[in-house]
Chain A
Amino acid sequence: MLSSKAPRSMATRLFAAGAVLTLGAVSLSACGGSSSGPSASGGSGDEKVGVSLIVKTTTNPFFVSMQDGAKKAAETDGVDLKLAAGKADGDEETQIQAIENAISKGDKGILITPNGPSVVDALKKAKDAGLFVIALDTPPDPADAADITFATDNFAAGELIGKWTASQLGGKKATIALLDLFDDKIVSVDYNRDQGFLTGLGIDTADKKKNGDEAKTGKYTGGKGGEYEIVGSQASGGNEDGGRTAMETLLAKNPNVNVVYTINEPAAAGAFEALKSAGKEKDVLVVSVDGGCTGVNNVKSGVIGATAQQYPIKMAELGVKAIVDLAKTGNKPANSAGLDFYNTGVELVTDKPADGIKSITTTAASDICWGK
C-alpha cells in the first residue's frame, strides 16, 4: 500500500511543481520581454510609437537580419517594437493574426514581408484603423495593399551581375545555365533577377516578366560582345540541394557551360558542388544575388565570381524610422524615382572589378553583410 501510494503522490507533486513553474516562467518571460525592450513603462506614461515587424519566417537568416535591424532602430528611436513571423514560408494565417494583434495593440504602423495574397484583407483592416503599412522586401499582391514597399531593385541587381559577366567573358562565347527559383509558380524576384541578368549581359529578354522566353542562341552585346547559347532554365528552390541538382541536370544537357546565373547564394554553392564533381569549377563564371555573409565568403574564396548584395537590415531600419517620422512629423516616405517602390540599394561584390562597373570588395562587403 505504502509503496503503491508513494510514487503517485510524488507524481502529483511533480505536476504541481511543473504547473507553477510554467506559469511562473510564462509570466516572468512576459515581464522580461516588455522590460528589456524600450517600453519598460508598458502602456502607461508617455506613449511610445508602436511598430510590429511581421516577417515570413524566422528560419531564414535574411529575415532574422531584418529583425536585428528593426531592433537596433527601435532602441535608438524609442520605439515599442513587436516581432512576429509565420511558422513556415506561405503561412498566411499566423501573419493575419499578427496584423490583427497589431491593430488591437494600437500600433502606429506595420512592417511586413507578406507570405501570400490572403494577408491583403487584414492589411486593409489595418490601414482602415489608421496604421501605416510598409512592405519590406516583397510587395503584397496587389501592391497597393501596403502604403509603400521598401525593397531591393532585383532587376538592377541582376543587371549588375550580367554586365560583370559580359566584361569577364571578353568576347568569348557564353554557354549559359540559368538556375532560377521556381518552375511551378511565378514570383517577381525570380523573373526580375533572371531577366535583369540577361539584360545586363546584352541579351534580348522578350517579355521582361517571363523567364525562358528569350532566344536560345544568338549574340550578346555586353562587354566586347559575342555569341551565346542558353542551355536551359532550371528551378533550384533557392537552396544548396536544389542548386546542385539543377546544375547537374544542365551539365548533363551541355557539359560546356561556362556561365552560371543563380537566384541566390545557397543555390550558387550547390551549383559549385556539381561543377566541382564534374571537374569544371575552374573556367566557369558563377554569379548570384543576395550578399549574405556566407555568400560574400564564397565570393572571397572564388566559389562565386560576383554577387549583388542587398540590405535587409537597412530595409527594416528605414521602415522603423519611416513610421517614427510619420508619427512625429506627419511626413510619409515616397517611392524612388522611376520605380514603384522605395529602393534600398544594391552593390556589386567582387574581387575582380571590371572597368566601368561600380563594385565593392569582399572585405568591404563583409562589414555590411547580413546573417553573420
Chain B
Amino acid sequence: MTQQQTAGPPSAGHADLAEEFLDRQTPLSRIRNILHRYPALSPALVLLIAVVVFGLLNDRFLRVENLSLITQQVSVVGTLAIAQTLIILTAGIDLSVGAVMILSSMVVAQLAVNNGLPAPVALLAGLIVGLAAGAVNGFLVTRFRLPPFIVTLGTLNIFIALTLLYSNGATVRGSAMPGLLTWTGTTFPVGGVRISTGVVVMLLLYIAIAFILGKTAWGRHVYAVGDDKEAARLAGIAVNKVLMSVYLAAGAVLAIGAWIQIGRTNAASPNAGVDLNLDSITAVVIGGTSLFGGRGSVWGTLLGALIVGVFRNGLSLAGLDVLYQTLAVGVLIILAVSIDQWIRKVKS
C-alpha cells in the first residue's frame, strides 16, 4: 500500500516532499496539517465538546449566569496566562507570574489605603512594580544567560518574601480602598446577564496582545526568537532586546492582572495566588502554545484558560470531588502536550 503511494510521484526525489505528499494521503495527517496551521483549533474543539457534555450533565451549567461566572473565575489566571504566553513563545517559562502579580497588588492596595495616595498614582506604582520585576527577570535571562526556569524560580521566592515583608502578611480589604481599585470587580448588565468589568479588561488585553503579536514586526521577532534564537540573530534581530522587551511587556500585563485580582476578591491578600504560576502555564499549554517556543497564540491561551475554568465549574456542578477536578486538569495537560508533539512532527 505504502509502496504504491511512494511510487506514485516518481519525480518527487526529495524525501521531505515525498513525506509531505504522503501526509496528504491519510485523513489523520490532513487533520494534523490543519491543526498545525491553526493552533487554536484543537483547544476550541475541546472547549466546545466540554461545554456540550457538561451542559448535558447538569441543566444549571448552561445558564448564562453560570457561563458569566466561569469567565469571572478565569479572569485573573487568564490575564496572567497572557504574560506567560509571551514568555513561552520565546521558549522561556515564568514561574514568578503569580508572585509578581501579588507583589504589585499589595503595593497598589497599601499605597492607596495606608499611605493615602490617590488611586491612579497607586495603580501607576503597581505598574512600575510589574515592569521592575519584568526587568529583573529579563536582565538575568539576557545578561547572565541564565535559563528562565532558574531565574524565575529564584525571583519567585524573592518576590514572595518581598510581598510578605512589605505587607506583614496582612490583607487589605476592598471596602477601605478607593473605588477605582475595585472597579474591575464591578459588573454591568448586558441583556439580563451581569458581565464583570475585569473580564472586559482581560479581553481587551487579549485583543491588544493578539494584534501586536500578529501584525507588528516586534510580534514576528518574538516568534522568530522563540523558534530559533541563532537563526533570528543571523537574520539581524537583536535577540536580547526582544527578550528584554518581552519580559517588560509581561510585567506590565501582570500589573494589570493585579488590578483585576483586587477587584475579583475585593481585597489584596498576600496569600493569594498559591499556584497561579502553574495554572497559567496550564492554560498556555492546553491552549496549544508549544513549550519549545515559536508556535502558538494568545487566543489558544484564552481557550486554554476557559477549558480549565469550564472543567472545574462543570465537574463541580456535576458533584465531583475537588480532587477529581485536579485529576482531570492533569490529564488535559498531558493530552495537550502530546498533541503538540504530534503536530510538530509536520515540520521535522
Q: Do the two shown chains form a genuine complex with each other?
A: yes
Q: How many chain B residues touch A (Cβ–Cβ < 8 Å)?
A: 56
Q: Is B60 an interface residue (CB 8 A)?
A: yes
Q: Is A117 an interface residue (CB 8 A)?
A: yes
Looking at A83-91, A233-241, A332-340, the stretch in contact with chain B turns out to be A83-91
Do A100 and B319 have beta carbons less than 8 Å apart? no
Complex interface: chain B residues within 8 A of A30 (CB): 57, 315, 318-320
Complex interface: chain A residues within 8 A of B322 (CB): 58, 83-85, 94, 98
Q: Is B65 an interface residue (CB 8 A)?
A: yes
Do A84 and B316 have beta carbons less than 8 Å apart? yes
Q: Mark B290-328, 1 if CB is under 8 A from A, else 0.
A: 000000000000000000000011011111111110101
Interface hits, B259-313 → A, CB 8 Å? 264-267, 269, 271-276, 312-313
Q: Is A18 an interface residue (CB 8 A)?
A: yes
Q: Is B58 an interface residue (CB 8 A)?
A: yes
Q: Is B179 an interface residue (CB 8 A)?
A: no
CA–CA, A58 to B323, complex, Å?
Answer: 9
CA–CA, A25 to B324, complex, Å?
Answer: 11
Give the shortest distance, in Å, between B306 (CB) and chain A (any CB). Answer: 14
Complex interface: chain B residues within 8 A of A18 (CB): 335, 338
Q: Is B73 an interface residue (CB 8 A)?
A: yes
Do B273 and A93 have beta carbons less than 8 Å apart? yes
Contacting residue for A34 out of B53, B169, B319, CB 8 A: B319
Q: Mark A39-63, 1 if CB is under 8 A from B, else 0.
A: 1001100000000000000100000
Contacting residue for B331 out of A2, A22, A90, CB 8 A: A22
Closest B residue by C-beta to A58: B323
Complex interface: chain B residues within 8 A of A19 (CB): 335
Closest A residue by C-beta to B57: A30
Closest B residue by C-beta to A184: B169
Complex interface: chain B residues within 8 A of A83 (CB): 321-322
CA–CA, A93 to B72, complex, Å?
Answer: 12
Closest B residue by C-beta to A125: B266
Q: Is B205 an interface residue (CB 8 A)?
A: no
Q: Mark A88-113, 1 if CB is under 8 A from B, else 0.
A: 10111110111011001110000000
CA–CA, A31 to B53, complex, Å?
Answer: 11
Q: Is A193 an interface residue (CB 8 A)?
A: no
With A37-B319, A42-B58: A100-B73 Cβ-Cβ less than 8 Å: yes
Do A118 and B267 have beta carbons less than 8 Å apart? yes
Do A104 and B272 have beta carbons less than 8 Å apart? no
Do B65 and A5 have beta carbons less than 8 Å apart? no
Closest A residue by C-beta to B317: A105
CA–CA, A22 to B328, complex, Å?
Answer: 8
> Considering the complex of A and B, which 8 residue pairs feature the smallest CB-CB distances, nearest first?
A121-B266, A90-B271, A30-B318, A118-B265, A117-B171, A118-B267, A33-B320, A118-B269
Binding site for B on A (CB under 8 A): 1-2, 5, 8-9, 11-12, 15, 18-19, 22-23, 25-27, 29-31, 33-34, 37, 39, 42-43, 58, 80, 82-88, 90-94, 96-98, 100-101, 104-106, 115-118, 120-122, 184-185
Assuming A83-B322, A97-B313, what are 6 further A-B pairs, CB within 8 angstroms?
Answer: A25-B331, A30-B57, A30-B320, A104-B60, A104-B69, A118-B272
